[in-house]
Amino acid sequence: MRVPGARPDIAIVGAGPVGATLALALARAGNDLDIVAIDPRAPGEAGRADRSLALSHGARLIFERLGVWSRVAGIEGAVTPIVAIDVSQARGFGAARLDAREVGLPALGYVVSYRALSAALDDALAATAVELCYGTEVSRVEGAADFAALELAGPAAGSIEARLAVVADGVGAAVTGVTRRRRDYGQVALIATLALATPHRGVAYERFTVDGPVALLPERDHYALVWTQSPAEAERSKALSESEFLDALARHFGPRVDRFAGVGARRSFPLALDVAAATTSRRVVVIGNAAQSLHPIAGQGFNLGLRDAWELARTIERTPKSEVGGDAMLAAYRRSRRVDRNAGILFTDGLVRLFGSGVPFASAARGAGLALLDLVAPARRMFTRAMLFGLH
């Protein structure tokens, strides 16, 4: 374990999927950098173990390059390909189906177990020179001219300094000097698993309603449901019996999907747009969910965070060791992420606003948009590519 007072080149705060990906990408780059990754969890233990992540095809390519994809795909039931996405809106015309065959790929994306991905990243990292400080929480990160200071809590309590601190703790809580903007959507995501009456065949559903979007993601032998509701509705939904809940869902979704055979435990979490106003400050950079936490509507959040890690690794790789964490390197990183990051945030927030509006004209415009997507192959391919690889 890192001795308090030590000075690594790079300290990564949080070895979740984004922080661990960065650590691995840096280790593979072979820049001879002294890297430490710090996380309060135990090795092989994932804090968000019950969660699944929606990965784009571009995310798969990143994991392939890092040699992690085959490890995850080798874990039974860890990866479910999404071969088509059916997009529709309630009480309006217009629907579109995005199909993997149309863009010449085996899948549009993948639903991947957080636990399995985390375990595969941990395994891969254990074979590198990155020093892993598990069981240790970072309580404060503060940048200065020549280094960032990190306060550690837990068994290795004390402080360390690094040329660059990368905050990938999922929330950006410990860092000073990075201001955040938060907008509560006033809604919650109700999540549950749905047992199937008929196989899902890799088809995901996204349905836009005036109350917010509802999504079904194929996962192993069931669907994962993400249903946007008001907090009060979500409480009522959680209290319904199984058959009442399935009836309500069938009414909400309409005839586009078959009925379900059962529903598992129902939970909800609040929905908000929570972004760092700037992703860097002196000797500090925030990435992943710590940089931007988005509405799950378009499945962009994790993919954007992963591209943060990938681009940061590439920027560091191109920077002489003595200049890592300096203003020029941080500016180069910001430039590399500006378009993709802003587009991802605006696209996701725009969808929430466009499809969350009950105004009749907006409904017609959405219907026209969806009908257009369904009719015009180039438009559909463009939209699909943006969902697959990002919007840069």
Ligand X SMILES: Cc1cc2nc3c(=O)[nH]c(=O)nc-3n(C[C@H](O)[C@H](O)[C@H](O)COP(=O)(O)OP(=O)(O)OC[C@H]3O[C@@H](n4cnc5c(N)ncnc54)[C@H](O)[C@@H]3O)c2cc1C
Which one of the spans 17-25, 229-237, 360-368, 379-387 is the region binding ligand X (CB under 6 A)?
17-25
Q: How far apart are the first and last CA of the chain?
A: 39
Of the ranges 74-82, 167-175, 179-187, 321-329, which one interacts with ligand X (CB under 6 A)?
167-175
Tell me the closest approach of the beta carbon of residue 281 to ligand X, in angstroms.
17
Q: How far is residue 354's CA from residue 342's CA, in Å, rounded to a whole number?
A: 17
DSSP-assigned beta bridge partners for residue 270: 188
CB of 392 to ligand X, least distance (A): 18
Q: At what angle do helices 114-126 and 17-29 cross, to 10 degrees?
A: 30
Q: Which of 9, 10, 11, 18 binds ligand X (CB under 6 A)?
A: 18
Helix%, strand%, coil% for the chain, nearest 5: 40, 30, 30
Task: Supply 323's token pair.
Answer: 């200049």
Residue 227 within binding range of ligand X, rule CB under 6 A: no
Residues 6+ apart with CB under 8 A from 239: none
Q: Does 16 bind ligand X (CB under 6 A)?
A: yes
- Number of helical (H) and strand (E) elements in the chain, helices listed first: 10, 21
Token pair of 40 as six digits: 């309060």
312 vs 369, beta carbon nearer ligand X: 312
Pairwise CA distance, residues 279 & 281, whole Å: 7
By CB under 6 A, is residue 41 in contact with ligand X? yes
Q: Can residue 78 be called a binding residue for ligand X (CB under 6 A)?
A: no
- Nearest CB to ligand X, comparing residues 266 and 366: 266
Say how far apart CA 117 and CA 111 lie, in whole Å. 11
Contact segment (CB under 6 A) with ligand X among 14-22, 93-101, 192-200, 336-344 equals 14-22
Residue pointed to by tokens 């409480």:
235
The yes or no reply on residue 17 touching ligand X (CB under 6 A) is yes
Among the listed residues 9, 10, 14, 312, the single contact to ligand X using CB under 6 A: 14
Instruction: Note whether 39 binds ligand X by CB under 6 A.
Output: yes
Of the residues 11, 15, 72, 188, which one makes contact with ligand X according to CB under 6 A: 15
Sketch the per residue contact string, 45 through 74, with ligand X: x for CB under 6 A, - otherwise: --xx--xxxx--------------------
- Reference 325, options 149, 190, 197, 202; nearest CA is 149
Between helices 360-375 and 327-355, what is the axis angle to 10°? 110
Least distance (Å) between residue 338 CB and ligand X: 19
Q: Contacts with ligand X in 102-161 (CB under 6 A)? A: 137-138
Apex 204 CA angle, 53 and 258, nearest 5 = 130
Q: CB of 150 within 8 A of CB of 11?
A: yes
Where does the chain have alpha helices with state H?
17-29, 57-65, 69-73, 114-126, 231-239, 242-253, 301-317, 327-355, 360-375, 377-389
Q: Which of 92, 143, 170, 390 binds ligand X (CB under 6 A)?
A: 170
Q: How far is C-alpha 93 from the geometric centre of its chain's CA atoms?
A: 30
Segment contacting ligand X by CB under 6 A, of 59-67, 169-177, 318-326, 332-340: 169-177
Interface residue with ligand X among 124, 168, 190, 286 (CB under 6 A) is 168
In the complex, which residue's CB is closest to ligand X?
16
- Compute the least distance from the CB of residue 51 to ligand X, in Å: 5
- Residues in 286-305 at the binding interface with ligand X, rule: CB under 6 A: 288-290, 296, 299, 301-302, 305
Chain residues in the site for ligand X (CB under 6 A): 13-19, 38-41, 47-48, 51-54, 137-138, 168-170, 174, 269, 288-290, 296, 299, 301-302, 305
